[in-house]
Amino acid sequence: MLGGMGPLATARFYEAVVRATPADHDQNHIPTVIWSDPRIPDRTAAIVGGGASPVPAMVAVARKLEKSGAEILAIPCNTAHAFLPQVRAATGLACIDMIGETLDRIARTDAERVGILGTRGTRAAGLYDAAAARRGLQVVYPSDRDQFRLIDEAIGFVKSGRRLSLAEDLVASAASRLRSAGADVLVAACTELPIALGSATRLAKVIDSLECLAFACVRASLTDVGDRDRFAGEVVPTAV
């Protein structure tokens, strides 16, 4: 796990992997290597603000994980997926695409318009746009004003651990507006946001991208083909 973006999301992701694993005792769980480096440069700043590229740090961590025996790489950060091709090219790890896994989950429903609750970096990089179009889905974003005043503010509060009740109110407001804009389902497309969903889940169906990544990692890690097929067929990520 290439973590630290941010640390709380990394902790949530490992818990999601453990909960998703069909295990009845310790020895059935998946050996996991976690390298959480919060010093990796800000991904949104690199995309929209001319900030330092996170690629060298991400590649360095991925190589350390590979040397530690990891075979599958998970990056529990949506915005960091803008740099996934460079990480893939620099290692021999099988990198799981959180964006694709999340949209595959939605494509199995009757939803057509997907509201994206994520960072400005995820939005500017178009991470969900092209991937959604390939699956016959449309994406809906908050207005620029709502992105700044609601989503960016909420993410900042979660990362700082402050004013979480206010963060929940902000996300709920953004969710309501996206529903009014025609979104059938919403994606918590920043791995910090599920912590602040609160009443948003009463306003709309929300899919947790981090949970989708966790299920994909478990599915890819199961060595028995029968277990893998049964897991893929019977267990799907649930709305938060």
Question: What are the residue numbers of the active site?
Answer: 77, 190
Q: Which two tokens mark 148? A: 């700044």
SS3 labels along the chain? CEECCCHHHHHHHHHHHHHHCCCCCHHHCCCCCCEECCCCCCHHHHHHCCCCCCHHHHHHHHHHHHHCCCCEECCCCCHHHHHHHHHHHHCCCEECCHHHHHHHHHHCCCCCEEEEECCHHHHHCCHHHHHHHHCCCEEECCCHHHHHHHHHHHHHHHHHCCCHHHHHHHHHHHHHHHHHCCCCEEEECCCCHHHHCCCHHHHCCEEEHHHHHHHHHHHHHCCCHHHHHHHHHHCCCCEC
